[in-house]
Structure 1
Amino acid sequence: MVRLPLTPAEVERGQRLGALLRRARGERSILDTALDARVSPETLRKIESGRVATPAFPTIAAIADVLGLSLDAVWAEISQSERGVDRLWAQRT
C-alpha cells in the first residue's frame, strides 16, 4: 500500500498533537507513559516529535487516557489552527 504524502495541514496538526502530549506528560518519563498506554516508547517519541503526524486513533486514545486528556480536548487543541485557516480560505473564495 502506498501512502500519499501528508498535506502541510496534516504535518502542522501532527506537530500540535506532539506538543500537546509533551506538555501533558510533564515530568513523567516517555518510558512510563508509553508502557502505561501500551505503546512503544519509540512510537510515543515519534508522535511527540511530529515524525508520526497521523497516528492511529487507538494509539492516541490510549495515550490521552494515560495522560488524563479527553479526546474532545485533544481534538479542540490540534484542530484550532485549521479552523482559522478554513475561515481565511472561505473569505478568499
Structure 2
Amino acid sequence: MVRSPLTPQQLAAGKRLGAYLRQARGDRKPAEVAQAASISPETLRKIETGRLATPAFTTVAALASVLKVPLEDLAQVCMPDLNLPKTG
C-alpha cells in the first residue's frame, strides 16, 4: 500500500503537535518520557521535531497520559480552527 504524501496542513499540524509535546515534557529526559509511553526515544524525537507529522493515535494517547495533557488540548493544537466542546 502506497501512502499519499502529507499535505502542507498535516505537516504544519505535526510541527505544532511536536512543539507542544516538547514544551509539555519540560525538563524530563526524552528517554524517561519515551519509556513511560512505551515508545522509542527516536520516535519521541521525530514527533517533537515534526519529522513524524502523523503519529499513531495510540502513541499520541500514551504521550498525553504520561505528560498529563488532555487529548482535547492536543486536538486543538493540531486543528486550531476546530471548535471542540470543553469537557470540564
**Given the two structures, how large is their TM-score scaled by the length of structure 1?**
0.85
Based on CA coordinates, which of the two structures has the bigger radius of gyration? Answer: 1
CA shift, 1:6, in A, is 0.3
RMSD, aligned CA: 1.1
- Aligned residue for 1:47? 47
Q: Give, as a single letter, the amino acid of the residue that structure 1 aligns with 2:19.
A: A
- Aligned residue for 2:30? 30
CA shift, 1:76, in A, is 1.1
CA shift, 1:79, in A, is 1.0
In 2, the alpha carbon distance for the partners of 1:78 and 1:57 equals 13
CA offsets 1:42-64 (integer angstroms, 9 cap, x no match): 00000000000000000000001
* Unpaired runs of at least 5, structure 2: 83-88
In 2, the alpha carbon distance for the partners of 1:49 and 1:77 equals 15
Q: Give, as a single letter, the amino acid of the residue that structure 1 aligns with 2:60.
A: I
Does residue 78 (structure 1) correspond to residue 78 (structure 2)? The answer is yes
Instruction: Percent identity, please.
Output: 52
In 2, the alpha carbon distance for the partners of 1:37 and 1:17 equals 16
CA offsets 1:21-58 (integer angstroms, 9 cap, x no match): 00000000100000000000000000000000000000
* Unpaired runs of at least 5, structure 1: 85-93
In 2, the alpha carbon distance for the partners of 1:61 and 1:75 equals 11
Q: Give, as a single letter, the amino acid of the residue that structure 1 aligns with 2:55.
A: P
- Count residues with an aligned counterpart: 82
SS at match of 1:54: coil
**Given the two structures, how large is their TM-score scaled by the length of structure 2?**
0.90
The structure with more helix, counted as a fraction of residues: 1
